Amino acid sequence: MSMVSSPAEAVARVAYLSSDVVISVQSSLSKDSDFSQHLHHFASNRAKNHVSRSIPEIQTSRTNADPLLSAYTPLRSGRLVSVTASSSILLTSIPHLYKLAEYPIVLHVSVQQTPYPDFSEISSIRQCGFSFLHSETLQEAQDIALTAHALAIRSGKGVIHYFDPSNSATNGPIALEKKQLVDNLLMIDAMQPFDAQSGDCFALYADDGRIATIPEQEGIQSSSGTISVKPKAQSQSPMRKDIAPSSSSETSSVGSSRRESSTSSGPASSAATTVDPPATRPVTSSDIYKIVTDTWARMKQIVGRSYSPIEYTGPQDADSALLIFGSTGVFVDVLDDDKIPEDLSRVGLITARLYRPWLGSTFVDSIPKSIKHLAVLEQVRRNTTKWGPTFLDVLSSLNPSAGGKSSITLVGYRLGYIEPATARQALRGIFQNLTSAAPIQGLCIGNESGPDQPLPVVEVQQPQVEAAYFKILNQLFGQRLHIANQLGLNNAGISPTIAASPEYGFGSLLARIEHRKRFVLEAQEAARSQEFITEPPRQWLSKWALHADDAQKANDLAPEVISRLSNDGSRAASHLLSLKNLFFKESQWLIGSDAWAYDLGNSGVHHVIASGADINMLIIDSQPYSERAAADAERRKKDIGLYAMNFGNTYVASVAVYSSYTQVLQAMVEADQFEGPSVVVAYLPYHKEDDSALTVLQETKKAVDLGYWPLYRWNPSNEVKGEPTFHLDSERIKQELEDFLRRDNQLTQLMNRFPNFSANLSESYGSEVRKLQKRKAKDAYEQLLEGLYGAPLTILFASDNGNAESLSKRLANRGRARGLKTMVMAMDDYPLEDLGTEENVVFVTSTAGQGEFPQNGRAFWDNVKNAGDLDLSAIHYSVFALGDSHYWPRKEDKIYYNKPGKDLDARLSLLGAKPLRPIGLGDDQDPDGYQTGYADWEAGLWQALSVADVAGLPEEPPPVTNEDIKIESNYLRGTIAQGLQDTSTGAISAADQQLTKFHGTYMQDDRDLRDERKAQGLEPAYSFMIRCRLPGGVATSSQWLQMDAISSDHGNETMKLTTRQTFQFHGVVKTKLRPAMQSINKALMTTIAACGDVNRNVMCSSLPEKSAYHSDVHKVSQKISNHLLPSTTAYHEIWLKDDKTGEKAQVAGPAVVDHEPLYGPTYLPRKFKITIAIPPHNDTDVYAHDIGLIAIKSSETGRLVGFNVLAGGGMGVTHNNKKTYPRTGWMMGYIPVEHIHIVCEKIMLVQRDHGDRKNRKHARLKYTMDDMGNEVFKSKVQELLRPHEIDFEEPRPFRFESNIDAIGWQKDEKGMNHFTFFIENGRVEDTADFPMRTGLKEIAKVHTGEFRLTGNQHLILSNVSDEAKPQIVDLMKKYKLDNTQFSGMRLSSSACVAFPTCGLAMAESERYLPELITKLEGCLEENGLSQDSIVMRMTGCPNGCARPWLAEAAFVGKAYGAYNMYLGGGYHGQRLNKLYRSSIKEDEILEIMRALLARWSRERQADEHFGDWTIRAGIIKETRVGSEFHDDVAEDESDAE
C-alpha cells in the first residue's frame, strides 16, 4: 500500500485533492520544491480532485515573481485555490494577504530553516486576517492540512497552515488520507460551487471590499449538524448549508482578541449597502472556532484522532507549563520519556494548534487551573519588540479584565536552536528561571547561531537563462561592475532572500554612493593640504577629483593617482590608499524581475527613479509573448518603460538580447553614462528555465516584431545636445506605437488619453482588423459578381506551397468560362458565418506537416471542427485533396495521407452539406502527380453542376513561366525600381521576386513570425536576403569591416559565411535594400549574379599553406567570374544610381552595355555553379558543381599549369521524385590554364542551348548531360572550342585527401601565418557567451592581410606576419576566438540556413545541427571517437545548399522535426550517399547514430572512414553515379505499402 513519508507530500496530496487550482511556488522553475514534485506527479497521472471532480490546474510560480497575484482570478471565478510555498514569500506578500483573507484560499507554508526553524515570518503576518493552523508531526500535517481546507471552504476565508518540516523528519510513513474523511470534512455532498463575485472590475491595489459574511439569523448546530457561513449575495462562500454562531460564543469568543484578533473584521463601508435578505454579518472569530472544533469532532468520529485549538499535554495538576510558538519536537521527546526526571514531571506543554484567531477565553479554559508559572517560548531569530507577540497574546488572555487569571507568573523566552542532547538541560534552565523569585524576561534558550551542521537553506536562484544579461554587463564593465543585489554575494547577517531583493540593493547602493562622495571630498581636502611628503599626489589628486564622477576619466586617472600615492609614504597617502577602490567609479546596477512591474507605485522602480540617484536598473521581463494573452488579466503589467519616461529625469531603454545584441550593448553603455537613474527593461521570455535558446529566440522575435516589446532608447540628456531624446530601434513596429512614442513631450497627456495604451494594444487590433478584412474581401467579391448570371460557385483553398492555390485559381477561371459566378479565396480569408448561405462550395486543400492543414486553412478548419451549431444543410460541396501517399513511409502513418481533405469532407457531410461529387484525391506519387486524380474529379464536378458540355470555351492562357518573366523583364529590370518605392507593403511583386535574384537578392519572410502575424491580420514579415559575389571567398580587412557594418546597419546583426564562400545578409527590409546594396558597392564588392539563372560566385580552395600557388589559382577564379558576368546595366540603374544626380555608379568589373552576348535575353535555364579545388584539398566539393576544376601544378615550378575539368555535378533534389537526383561531376579532361575561362564559357553555352527550359526541376546541367549522354555533351563543347583550337587532353593525375578545413594556425612557404577559425555553420554573430562578431571586427581593425572564407563556412585570417601575430593572438584570446577544441564531428559538419528565413525549409538546420551534435558527443567520447572526423551535413530541404548528398552522414529536412537520413558518402566528397531512413525524428536519429558509431569504432580498419565503413559493413549500398541514387536504398519509400 502506498504510504506518505513527508509532511510536504501529505500536504501536497491534500491540497491537490481539495483544490481546483494549486499555485506551486518554487525558488526556481527548473528546480522542484518539496511540494511540487508530488503535485506534478499527481497531475501527470491526471488524478481528479475530490471537490469538483476535475483535474486541478497546477500553476508554477517563482518565489520572487509575486506569486500570490495569480490567486485572484481563479478565486473570483469561484475556483478553490491553494498555495504551497515556503515562509519566505510571506513578508513580500503582505499587501495581498490582507485582501486574500476574505477568500477561501489555503496557504500551506513550510517554515524556513535559516538555518534552524524560524517562525518570525508567521508571527509578522499574524494580523493579516487569515486563520492560522499549526501542525507538527507528519500525521498532523495531513490532518491539519485537511482541516485548513475544510475551514476555508466553510468560512469563506483564507487559512494559513504552517509547519516545520524538520520537526517530523524522524516520523515513520503514514497511511494515505482516508477518502471518507476527506469527503466528510470538505462536506462534498453539501457543498455548492463557490459562487464568486462576477463581472466586477477589481483594482488590485485598492481595497476591493470583499468581506466574507454569514446570514445573521441562522444558528450554529453541533458537530453532527450542518453548519453554514453564508456570505452576502455578492460574495458567497462555497457552501450553502450554514452554521451560524450562537450568540453566547459570539461574545465569549472575543476575549483577548478584542484587541488583537485579526479575523473579526467589521463590514467595510462598500459592503454595508447589500440589499439581499436575509441580512448578513461578517464571519467572526467564534465562527472560525466553531467550524474548526466541529471539523475536529468529525475527524475524531471517523479516524479517532483528536485535536483542539489550544492543546495542553501533561499532568492535570501541573504547576508550571511551557507554551511554545515554534517547534516542540525536542521538548516533547524529553517530556514524553518514561524516565522523565522528577523536577520535570509536573510540567505541562501548551501549543496553539489554532494560532489565529487567538481566543483568549479558550486559552484560559484549555489549561489546568493549577498552573502558576507559564513560560512562553517564541522561536524567532530576531526579536523586533521587547515582548514577543505570543507573550502579549497570553498576557492579555490572562488579564482579569478579560476574564483571565492574573495569578500566573508569565515569563517570555526566545527559543534558539536546541540540540536534542541538551534539551533536558534547556528545559531545566527554563523552569529554574521561571520558578525563581525574580525570573529574568527575554532569555534566549539554545544556540542562536544554529546547528553545527546547518540544515539545507532554500535559496532564491538566478534563472539560468537570465545569465545572458549578466554576461553582457560583465563584458562591458568588467571590474567596474557592481551589482548590488546579486545572488550569492556575501552579506553578513542578511538572509539570501533579503540580500537579493532590489529594495535591499537600493539601500546598499545609496550607502555606497554616499561613501564615495565623502571619499571624493576627503581627496579634495587632501589635495589642498600640506600632508604629503612628495609633490605629485596633490596635483594628481586635484586632477582626479575634478573628474571623479566621470567614469572614463576617473578610472583612467585612478591607477596614476594610486601609483603617486604609493610613492609618497605619508600618513595621508596611506589613508587614501586604504580606500583605493574608491578611486574607481563603479557601474552600479540593481537587478529586478518583472514582478516589479505589478505595482509601480510601491515598488523599487519608483523609489529609485524618485531618488534621482545615479543608479542603473536592469529589469528582466520573462513572460513569453505567446502566454501574454492567456495570462491572468490581473497580472497585466504596467509598462515600466513608459512609467519611467514619464518621470523625465530617467534614462530608459527597452531591449531584448535575442533580438538585438548591439542595442543591448548600446543601452547599457548609455545607461552607465547617464547621470541619474537609468532603467533598462530587458526582455527574456521563457516558460521553463531550461528552455532552449531557440525557444527563447522565437518568443522574443514575435514580441519584438509585433510591437509587444518595442526596442527603444530614451535619453533625456540628448535634449541639451539638441539631439532627439527618443530612438526607436525596432525594425517593424505598429504605427500607432511609433507615433505615440515620437510625441515624447506629450507623453503624460497621451497616457491619460489612452490609458490602455501599452504594449498590449496590438491584441485587439489584430483580431478586429482581420475580421474587417475578411468581410471587405468577401463583399467586394460579391459586388463584382453581382452583374453575372449563372449558378454561384465558391472555391476555398488551403495551400502552403502554391499547388492547391494555383489549382483553385485555375478551377475558378474555368468555372467563370462556364458561366458560373465564381469566387475563390483562401479558407482563412473567408467569413465562416456566411458558409451556410452558399449554394455550391468547392474545397481544395493540400496536406502539410504530418497530416495537418496548410497554414491558410488552419483557423477555418478549427472553427468548422468546433462549431456545433453550423447548419450546412443548404449547401452542395465537394473536396479535392492534395497529398503524397508516401510522404510518411511507415505503414502506421498511412492515416496522414490527404488527412485534412478527408477530415473536412467527413465533417461537412456530418453538418448536413450535400456532396456534389465524392472527394477527389491527388497524389504526388501518381504518374502526373496530383494532376492524375484531379482531371477526373474536375470532370465530375462540371457534370454535377450541369456545365460539363459548354461549347466555345476560350483557350486558357498558359501559366507565366520564369522564361516569360526573363523575356519580359528588359534585361532584368522588370518593375523592381517601382516596387521598391511602394511603402504600403514590405513585399515586391512575384515577377520581381524572380528578377531580383539575378541582382543577388531575394525576398523571404520570417517563418518564426508567420503564424503570429497572420493571426494579427498582418502581412508576413518580409525581408530580403542579400548575397555578395566574392570569387574565391577572399576579402580584405576593410571589406570585412564594411560587411560587418552592413549587417548591423541594414540587416539582422549577423552575417552568414556561405557554403559557396561568400557573405550573405538576412533580414534586410525593403527600405534598407538600396542603401545596403550601395554600401556593398562602396566596399568594392557586388551582388550581381550572386543568385538567379546565371553563373554564380566562383569558388576556390582556400589553401592557407601555399600562398603563391593559392594566388595563381585565385586569380583564375576571378577571371572566370568576370568573364561570365552578365552585362545588363539594370543592376546599376536600380541599385546604384544617385537619386539626385541620376548618375550610375560603377561596380568593379568590366564596363557594361544592355546586351547579353553570353546569355541572351533569357539567360540560362537554371543556376550555374563553378568551383575550383586544389588537391589534396577538396574543401570546395569539386564534384558537386556544374563545373568542377581540379588545379594541376607543375612538378618543376610548383605553380599552376592547368585544370582537370569535371562537368555536370549538382545537388538539388525533390523528395520522392525519382526523376530528380544528385550527381557528381563527370571528368571531361585536362585544359591548360590560359584557356580555362573559354572552356567554362563553352560548357555553359551548351547548357544554355540544351538545358530544359520547360521544367525547372529538370533544368540543371546534370540532367542535360544524362539525357544527352556525357560523350555527346562533350562533343558539343568540343565543337564550340574548335575555332579557338582548344581541346581536352587526358586528365592529369591528382589525389584528394579530405574536404574539411584544418582549424588553427598554419605557416605558409613565405613564413606568413594563417589561422582558420571554426565558425559554426558560418554564422557570424554576437551572443552573450561568445561575442564573435565584435572580436572579428576588432581583429579586422588591425589585420593587414586578408580574410578568406572557406567552402566549409569557416574563416581564415590570412597573411599574418610574425611581428603582427602576438597582437592578433591577444585579441583572439580576449574574444574566445582561439578555441579549436571541438569534436571531430563538429569540425566536419555544416548546415544550410533553413528556418527562419529560407522559404523552402521544411525543417530546422543551422539552428538545430549544433544541438544534435552536442547530443552525440557523449557517445563519441565513450567510443573514443572525439577526434575522428566524420563529415556530417544537414539541410532543411532537399535543395541541398550544404551539399548533404556528399556527406558521410546527412540529414535532410522532410517536415518540421523530421529528417531523411543518408549514409555512405565519400570522405573526400568523391561519392554520393544514399537514403538510409526516411522521416525520422530526434530520438530515432540518436538511437541509430549511437549504434552505428559504436560499431564503427569496433569494426573499422586502419584509417577507414565512416562513410566507407557503412558500405563495407553492408549497412548501405554504394552510389556510384547519380542516376543510381534512388536504387537499392536501405528503406525503399515505395515498398512500404
Ligand X SMILES: Cc1cc2nc3c(=O)[nH]c(=O)nc-3n(C[C@H](O)[C@H](O)[C@H](O)COP(=O)(O)O)c2cc1C
Residues identified as active-site: 1027, 1096, 1167, 1169, 1392, 1398, 1437, 1441
Interacting residue with ligand SF4 among 1435, 1473, 1510, 1519 (CB under 6 A): 1435
Cβ–Cβ < 8 Å for 436, 430:
no
Helices of type H across 125-207: 138-155, 179-185
Judged by beta carbon, residue 799 or residue 1405, the one nearer ligand X is 799
Restricted to residues 335-374, the positions that interact with ligand X (CB under 6 A) are none
* Strand pairing category for 3-4 and 174-175: antiparallel
Q: What is the smallest separation between the CB atom of 1233 and ligand SF4, expressed in angstroms? A: 33
Binding mask 894-923 for ligand X (x = CB under 6 A): --xxx-------------------------
737-776 as b/e: b if 16+ CB within 10 A: beebbeebeebeebbeeeeebbbbbbeebbeeebeeebee
Residues 6 or more apart whose Cβ sits within 8 Å of residue 17: 49, 50, 51, 177, 182
Cβ–Cβ < 8 Å for 114, 495:
yes
Judged by beta carbon, residue 836 or residue 1399, the one nearer ligand SF4 is 1399
Interacting residue with ligand SF4 among 1055, 1393, 1431, 1450 (CB under 6 A): 1393
Helices of type H across 452-567: 467-477, 496-499, 502-528, 536-546, 551-566
Task: Tell me the backbone φ, ψ of residue 1409, rounded to 5 degrees.
Answer: -55, -45
Q: Count the Cβ atoms, other than its own, within 10 Å of residue 1063.
A: 30
CA angle at 73 for the pair 71 and 79, rounded to the nearest 5°: 80
Amino acid identity, position 372: K
Binding segment toward ligand SF4, per CB under 6 A, in 220-228, 785-793, 1047-1055, 1386-1394: 1386-1394
Interacting residue with ligand SF4 among 271, 526, 870, 1392 (CB under 6 A): 1392
Judged by beta carbon, residue 431 or residue 1459, the one nearer ligand SF4 is 1459
Rounded distance between C-alpha atoms, residue 1392 and residue 1398, angstroms = 9
19 binds ligand X (CB under 6 A): no
884 binds, among ligand X, ligand SF4, none (CB under 5 to 8 A by kind): ligand X
Rounded distance between C-alpha atoms, residue 1331 and residue 284, angstroms = 63
Q: What is the smallest separation between the CB atom of 1404 and ligand X, expressed in angstroms? A: 13
Judged by beta carbon, residue 854 or residue 1440, the one nearer ligand X is 854
803 binds, among ligand X, ligand SF4, none (CB under 5 to 8 A by kind): ligand X
CA angle at 1349 for the pair 1343 and 1355, rounded to the nearest 5°: 60
DSSP state, residue 1135? I
Rounded distance between C-alpha atoms, residue 1387 and residue 1238, angstroms = 37
DSSP state, residue 27? S
Q: What is the smallest separation between the CB atom of 1034 and ligand SF4, expressed in angstroms? A: 24
What is residue 1196's three-state secondary structure?
A: coil
Give first-to-last CA distance, the chain, whole Å: 49
Rounded distance between C-alpha atoms, residue 145 and residue 35, angstroms = 13
801 binds ligand X (CB under 6 A): yes
Rounded distance between C-alpha atoms, residue 364 and residue 1420, angstroms = 74
Rounded distance between C-alpha atoms, residue 1478 and residue 888, angstroms = 8
930 binds ligand X (CB under 6 A): yes
Q: What is the smallest separation between the CB atom of 1263 and ligand X, expressed in angstroms? A: 21
799 binds ligand X (CB under 6 A): yes
1405 binds ligand X (CB under 6 A): no
Q: Which residue is nearest to ligand X (CB)?
A: 883
Interacting residue with ligand X among 850, 989, 1111, 1497 (CB under 6 A): 850
Judged by beta carbon, residue 1039 or residue 1439, the one nearer ligand SF4 is 1439
Q: What is the smallest separation between the CB atom of 799 and ligand X, expressed in angstroms? A: 3
Size of the site for ligand X (CB under 6 A): 26
Residue 1084's Cβ-side half-sphere holds a number of Cα atoms within 13 Å equal to 10
1405 binds, among ligand SF4, ligand X, none (CB under 5 to 8 A by kind): ligand SF4
883 binds, among ligand SF4, ligand X, none (CB under 5 to 8 A by kind): ligand X
1392 binds, among ligand X, ligand SF4, none (CB under 5 to 8 A by kind): ligand SF4
Sign of the C-alpha dihedral computed for residues 428, 434, 437 and 442 taken in this order: positive
1394 binds ligand SF4 (CB under 6 A): yes
Q: What is the smallest separation between the CB atom of 58 and ligand X, expressed in angstroms? A: 34
Interacting residue with ligand SF4 among 883, 1033, 1092, 1436 (CB under 6 A): 1436
Interacting residue with ligand SF4 among 347, 1401, 1420, 1446 (CB under 6 A): 1401
Judged by beta carbon, residue 850 or residue 1426, the one nearer ligand X is 850
887 binds ligand X (CB under 6 A): yes
Task: Tell me the backbone φ, ψ of residue 59, rounded to 5 degrees.
Answer: -105, 125
Cell numbers 601555399 correspond to what residue? 1106
851 binds ligand X (CB under 6 A): yes
Interacting residue with ligand X among 804, 972, 1441, 1461 (CB under 6 A): 804
Cβ–Cβ < 8 Å for 1433, 1389:
yes
1398 binds ligand SF4 (CB under 6 A): yes
Judged by beta carbon, residue 184 or residue 1473, the one nearer ligand SF4 is 1473
Interacting residue with ligand SF4 among 1103, 1174, 1441, 1472 (CB under 6 A): 1441
Judged by beta carbon, residue 826 or residue 1394, the one nearer ligand SF4 is 1394
Rounded distance between C-alpha atoms, residue 956 and residue 976, angstroms = 28
Rounded distance between C-alpha atoms, residue 1202 and residue 1195, angstroms = 12
Burial of 892 (0-12, 13-18, 19+ CB in 10 A): exposed
Interacting residue with ligand SF4 among 1440, 1465, 1469, 1522 (CB under 6 A): 1440
Q: What is the smallest separation between the CB atom of 1222 and ligand X, expressed in angstroms? A: 19
- The H-or-E segment that residue 881 falls in is strand 876-883
8 binds ligand SF4 (CB under 6 A): no
930 binds, among ligand X, ligand SF4, none (CB under 5 to 8 A by kind): ligand X
Judged by beta carbon, residue 825 or residue 1103, the one nearer ligand X is 825
Cβ–Cβ < 8 Å for 22, 74:
no
**The three cell numbers locating residue 1036:** 580584405
Interacting residue with ligand SF4 among 1439, 1478, 1479, 1519 (CB under 6 A): 1439
Cβ–Cβ < 8 Å for 118, 379:
yes
Interacting residue with ligand X among 888, 934, 1135, 1525 (CB under 6 A): 888
733 binds, among ligand X, ligand SF4, none (CB under 5 to 8 A by kind): none
Sign of the C-alpha dihedral computed for residues 1393, 1395, 1399 and 1400 taken in this order: positive
Judged by beta carbon, residue 731 or residue 1406, the one nearer ligand SF4 is 1406
Cβ–Cβ < 8 Å for 299, 307:
yes
Interacting residue with ligand X among 883, 1175, 1210, 1465 (CB under 6 A): 883
Binding mask 1445-1464 for ligand X (x = CB under 6 A): ----------x---------
Q: How far is Cα of residue 1398 from the mean position of the Cα atoms in its chain?
A: 21
Q: What is the smallest separation between the CB atom of 922 and ligand SF4, expressed in angstroms? A: 24
Residue 770's Cβ-side half-sphere holds a number of Cα atoms within 13 Å equal to 19
Rounded distance between C-alpha atoms, residue 1162 and residue 967, angstroms = 6
Q: What is the smallest separation between the CB atom of 605 and ligand SF4, expressed in angstroms? A: 45
Rounded distance between C-alpha atoms, residue 234 and residue 1061, angstroms = 72
Q: Count the Cβ atoms, other than its own, within 10 Å of residue 934.
A: 22
Judged by beta carbon, residue 1102 or residue 1435, the one nearer ligand SF4 is 1435
* Residues in contact with ligand X by the rule CB under 6 A: 799-805, 846-851, 854, 882-884, 887-888, 896-898, 924, 930, 1402, 1455
* Residues in contact with ligand SF4 by the rule CB under 6 A: 1392-1394, 1398, 1400-1401, 1405, 1435-1437, 1439-1441
